[in-house]
A = this chain, B = another copy of it.
């Protein structure tokens, strides 16, 4: 499945995650993602735009409606991750 392939690349989920609460400029996004290199970010953004989940606007890059739906799933994913970490720490 093409979509899952793109999402399984480095920084892809993270970029989406950072865009959840509003658009960000290229440079702001870069900082938010632990200063990912501009080449990597640019490549990932191109792929995500190709998927139709991210699009550039006046205030920087933002999520499309499909991206917003994906963001909600990511929220569950992050909750799962938190729970997992907590469970493992409790051992």
Contact = CB atoms under 8 A, between A and B. Distances in A.
Q: Binding site of A, secondary structure by majority: helix, strand, loop or mixed? A: helix
A70 interface: yes
Interface in A1-51: 1-4, 7-14, 17, 51
Number of copies: 2
A84 B53 contact: yes
B13 A10 contact: no
Contacts of A51: 84
Interface of A: 1-4, 7-14, 17, 51-53, 66, 69-70, 73, 76-78, 80-81, 83-85, 87-88
A76 B71 CA distance: 12
Contact of A4 (B9, B73, B81): B81
